[in-house]
Amino acid sequence: MKTAAPLQIDNLLKTIAFLFFGLLILWALINYLMLRQVYLHWLLLIFNLLLSIALGWWFYKRNYHTTFSYDQEGFDIQQGDSRLSARWRDYSRVSLVHLGQGEFAVRLYKDGDDFLQIPVSSLKLNPSGFRFQVMEFVKGEERAIET
């Protein structure tokens, strides 16, 4: 089974920055309410940064990190704490979708309008090549897994 689980730097940095500024605002608010002044020191900034990195990493792994494992039979996709396993033969159609801002996804359609979306850009997979590979899997044809 082949696995793709790259680090999504943009989501990680957004989470760390949000937590860093949130902690600074919280610290300033508590200081002002208790002491009627805002006390900031460079050691406090370093502590807040380290705390933001630790909490940001935990929050990123719990909510955003995507892991995708697949072979000719089926696939497992896990984003944060949610996990989905399916077989290629459960789907009948495949399409490549541009989500905007250079992001692509491969959609797998069941009969009707029900679909599942695989975020190939986030997984650092070649969108077009992966779509054709998935089309082979859905058809049931055996083909060597390419990178």
Confidence at residue 146, expressed as pLDDT on a 0 to 100 scale: 54
Report how far residue 105's alpha carbon sits from residue 98's, in angstroms, rounded to the nearest whole number. Answer: 7
Confidence at residue 145, expressed as pLDDT on a 0 to 100 scale: 53
pLDDT at residue 112 greater than cutoff 80:
no
pLDDT at residue 144 greater than cutoff 80:
no
Residue 135 lies inside a defined structural domain of this protein: yes
Residue 123 lies inside a defined structural domain of this protein: yes
| 42-65 as b/e: b if 16+ CB within 10 A | eeeeeebeeebeebbeebbeeebb
Residue 73 lies inside a defined structural domain of this protein: no
Domain extent for 102: 81-139
CA distances from 38 to 15, 21, 31 (A): 25, 15, 5
Q: Could you tell me if 92 and 46 lie in one domain?
A: no
Residue 144 lies inside a defined structural domain of this protein: no
Confidence at residue 86, expressed as pLDDT on a 0 to 100 scale: 92
For tokens 């680090």, the residue is: 7
Mean pLDDT of 106-131: 90
pLDDT at residue 83 greater than cutoff 90:
yes
What dihedral angle (degrees, nearest 10) is formed by the CA atoms of 107, 86, 135, 141? 180
Q: Whole-model pTM? A: 0.77
For tokens 């000719």, the residue is: 72
Please tell me the total count of domains within the chain. 2
pLDDT tier, 41 (very low <50, low <70, confident <90, very high otherwise): confident
Q: Could you tell me if 52 and 86 lie in one domain?
A: no
Residue 131 lies inside a defined structural domain of this protein: yes
Confidence at residue 141, expressed as pLDDT on a 0 to 100 scale: 61
Report how far residue 45's alpha carbon sits from residue 137's, in angstroms, rounded to the nearest whole number. Answer: 51
Confidence at residue 142, expressed as pLDDT on a 0 to 100 scale: 52
Query: Would you say 99 and 105 are in contact if contact means Cβ atoms under 8 Å apart?
Result: yes
Mean pLDDT of 76-89: 92
Report how far residue 47's alpha carbon sits from residue 53's, in angstroms, rounded to the nearest whole number. Answer: 10
Confidence at residue 66, expressed as pLDDT on a 0 to 100 scale: 92
Mean pLDDT of 70-95: 92
Confidence at residue 88, expressed as pLDDT on a 0 to 100 scale: 92
Residue 43 lies inside a defined structural domain of this protein: yes
Mean pLDDT of 102-110: 92
